Amino acid sequence: MLPSVSEMVSLGEGWTPIVSAQAYGISFLAKLEFLAPTGSFKDRGTTVLVSLLRELGVTKVVEDSSGNAAASLAAYGARAGMHCKIFVPAQASPAKLAQIRVYGAELCPVEGPRESSSIAAQQAAQQAYYASHVYNPLILEGTKTFAYEVWEQLGRVPDHLVFPVGHGTLFLGAYLGFRDLLEAQLIEKLPALHAVQSEGYAPLYKIYKEDLSELPEIAPQSTVAEGICIQKPVRWRALQQAVRATCGKVITVSDEEILQAQRALAQQGLFVEPTAAVPIAGLQNLKRLFRPSDLIMAPLTGSGLKSFPTL
């Protein structure tokens, strides 16, 4: 189901636990993606990407990220003996920046909005391979494993899955993975996939709500969910198609709702960064879609140790 290589570059990623949880009177299953080797779901895509790059003889890579993807690439790059040059927003979480540095990557903070980091990385990519977690299709090959695991662990697929969405690499990977299972006749139907965005960065919601045919311009605003501060998601058409194909919804949540959800998870022993609490904050708005017998799941995408406590 994955690209073939002679030897995987692995840190033991995958097979993250599934535990029961509650929020707003709704029982759901939480898949603990924050227990991945570098503390986020990004490791799923990075292991596939770096394995293929090492097979091809690549020794230098550049990337831009708000933190988690960069930390993941830095770790797997170190494992593979690659030099990593990482461009990050200057205002990114200090904890994430420290994690990137500790793996030995060359860190390049960039002032301005998130997109400024992307531009800087693309310019640097004239001299090294652009190992983008956004553009590179190998990332989606890796995040497909989320869907495969859910099916293996549960023996079925949930009725609803709720994701935080910026560029949507986990959302799209899950969609492709569940579609693989459907085409292989291992499941009978696709689960409904719901995308939750921060009110401050919600281009996909605007497209969904207003039925737009082009990507809208949105003014950048501050939000505690730094991992999904994306003004122009590259794969927005694919995201829109995946939502429609699964009869999902796109909704937004406020910073206050995100922090409330983060506290609710912590009180159940689950300490996640604010971005990872976004789908839990969205459960209340999706509640009317759920039947009593429905199985609901949300990935908890990043560790709370990656950001300063806001609880």
- CA 3/CA 143 separation, integer angstroms: 13
- CA 141/CA 137 separation, integer angstroms: 7
pLDDT greater than 80 at residue 167:
yes
Digit-coded pLDDT (tens) for 236-294: 999 999 999 999 999 999 999 999 999 999 999 999 999 999 999 999 999 999 999 99
- pLDDT band per the 50, 70, 90 thresholds, residue 112: confident
CB atoms inside a 10 Å sphere around CB 242: 22
Task: Single out the residue of 7, 26, 17, 11 nearest to residue 280, CA to CA.
Answer: 26
Q: What are phi and psi of 253, to 5 degrees?
A: -135, 155
Q: Which domains does the chain have, with CATH numbers?
A: 18-41+138-306 (3.40.50.1100), 43-136 (3.40.50.1100)
Contacts of 281 (CB under 8 A, 6+ apart): 196, 253, 254, 257, 258, 260, 261
Digit-coded pLDDT (tens) for 20-76: 999 999 999 999 999 999 999 999 999 999 999 999 999 999 998 868 999 999 999
* The predicted structure's pLDDT at residue 225: 93
- pLDDT band per the 50, 70, 90 thresholds, residue 309: low
* The predicted structure's pLDDT at residue 94: 85
